[in-house]
Amino acid sequence: MAGPARDEQYTAYVAARLPWLQRVAYLLCQDWDRADDLVQVALTRLYVRWHRVGSVENVDGYARTVLLRVFLAEQRTGWWKRVTTVREPPEPGPDIADRDRDLDLRTALRELAPRQRAAVVLRFYCDLSVEQTAEVLDCSPGTVKSQTSRGLAALRRALVPTVSIEEGTAR
């Protein structure tokens, strides 16, 4: 595929899947501006390799893998540690029933190590199997299981209400 047909196909794909890619990126990095940057880099890499898409069975999976690898590569560079951003909780959408719990989950997810966060997002948001997640993360299924288990344990610890002995109430 070459020229205008290739560009039209790519543009149609991006127009249809951009919100989904942004949500996945946000779940990985917990910052909308940074998520936009990750998606931009991932889409640039996807465009460069778009000629290969004809042989790819799952275009969404391919794009998700590119996005995840951009995120993990950025984590390894330490850029995210050197750059300070103002962290204000995003405004939750009107369809969220329990906004406080949603914000607690976002905070807890943000505290996970990058590979644990990636494993949890891929397994439970993107609904990938252990084997599919292992392929995307380029690791063994056992590593996916352990990263997911550790990530879920950390999320549980962060989300369990603490009980004050003096007050006898959950906070």
Give yes or no for a contact between 67 and 39, defined as CB atoms under 8 angstroms apart: yes
Confidence at 4, pLDDT banded by 50, 70, 90: confident
- Both 77 and 49 in one domain: the answer is yes
- Both 103 and 138 in one domain: the answer is yes
- Both 22 and 38 in one domain: the answer is yes
Domain stops at, among 54, 72, 88: 88
Domain stops at, among 59, 88, 117: 88
- Both 59 and 10 in one domain: the answer is yes
pTM above 0.75, yes or no: no
- pLDDT tens for 77-119 read 765 555 555 556 555 555 545 555 566 777 888 889 989 999 9
> What pLDDT is attached to residue 15?
95
Percent composition of the chain: helix, strand, coil (DSSP 3-state, to 5): 75, 0, 25
- Both 82 and 99 in one domain: the answer is no
> What pLDDT is attached to residue 164?
47
d(CA 56, CA 159): 39
- Both 99 and 163 in one domain: the answer is yes
Structural domain that includes position 84: 1-88
Give yes or no for a contact between 123 and 133, defined as CB atoms under 8 angstroms apart: yes
CATH number of the domain where residue 13 is located: 1.10.1740
CATH number of the domain where residue 120 is located: 1.10.10.10
d(CA 69, CA 49): 15
> What pLDDT is attached to residue 169?
55
- The residue with greater pLDDT, 56 or 55, is 56
Question: What's the total number of domains in the chain?
Answer: 2
- pLDDT tens for 105-163 read 778 888 899 899 999 999 988 889 999 999 989 999 999 999 999 999 998 888 876 54
Confidence at 1, pLDDT banded by 50, 70, 90: low
